[in-house]
Amino acid sequence: MHTYRNTALVFLALMFQQRQYTPPILLDMLPSPLTPHAQSLGDRVLKSGKERTTFSGELTTERGERYSLRVVLQLPDNVRIEGLKPNGVVAFDGDSSVTTPSLLEQQLIEIFSSDIAEAMITSTRDGAAVQLLGRHIRPDSAVASEVAEVDIYEWSGPIRSNPRKIDRLKRFAFDSSTGLLAYTEYLDEAFSPPLNVRIRFADWKTIDGSAYPGRIERRENGRLTFSWKASEIAPSRRESGK
């Protein structure tokens, strides 16, 4: 983790009554510093009709393994992953923890349910604490070639998908220019010693008025452990009852 200098800390820890996700109501409930980041995602969080996104692409691990991966994400935090094993599906309903035999599956579920921008933003309605650490901060060299300055938020809350019911402290870094998420970082204490994890979001694409990451990477202590690249992104209306 990195230490960030800032002249003032704005504490945004807010408790919200849990309610069914509805995009226009969500924006009305947001702390104002988070509103530009929600707006940068576009129509899918500004109005109903695009709550469900299907990502198709290829996952490559550090060992050279390749998987044709299909991820279905339904706001705010329902996730379904297909393609990691024959005829196998890993799903998270936004509440019950997910027990899988694969560490990779668990890491992917956490990325798509907790590390993405919309997950961080919507989690504030359920009592997650968010603190603005600073704006227009120069990132380290690992992302400086793509992002000149970032706005850093510190987030704390439970990882509901994890069967160990852990809490995490995470830092979300948004591109100061575009408002889009550049990376999320935290300590993964499932390892000894704990690993510095950075989930990087890049190659953002605009599709039908909404922004989506085209590339996601997981790095542990600076080492790339896997990367995922989208070949197709398809928004749609939410499925009823979810």
Domains located in the chain, CATH noted:
10-236 (2.50.20)
**In this structure, how many other beta carbons lie within 10 angstroms of the beta carbon of residue 135?**
15
64 φ/ψ sector (left φ>0, alpha ψ -120 to 50, else beta): left
- Do residues 119 and 26 touch, judged by C-beta distance below 8 A? no
pLDDT in tens, 179-220: 999 999 999 887 889 999 999 999 999 998 899 999 999 999
Cis peptide before 76 (omega within 30 of 0): yes
Rounded to 5 degrees, what angle do the CA atoms 9, 75, 71 make?
110
pLDDT in tens, 59-73: 999 999 999 999 999
Give the span between the Cα atoms of 228 and 242, in whole angstroms: 26
Tokens found for residue 219:
């790095």
Q: Computed from CA positions of residues 42, 241, 157, 163, in that sequence, does the dihedral angle turn out positive or negative?
A: negative
Statement: residue 30 has pLDDT above 50: yes
Give the span between the Cα atoms of 94 and 101, in whole angstroms: 19
Statement: residue 9 has pLDDT above 70: no
CA distances from 70 to 158, 229, 232 (A): 26, 11, 10
CA 62 to chain centre: 21
pLDDT bin (cut points 50, 70, 90) of residue 19 is very low
> What is the arithmetic mean of pLDDT over 154-160?
90
Tokens found for residue 223:
């080492």
φ and ψ at 117, to 5 degrees?
A: -60, -45
Amino acid, single-letter form, for residue 18: Q
| Long-range pairs, 185-189, Cβ under 8 A, ≥24 | 185/1, 185/2, 186/1, 187/1, 188/220
Amino acid, single-letter form, for residue 139: P
Statement: residue 87 has pLDDT above 90: no
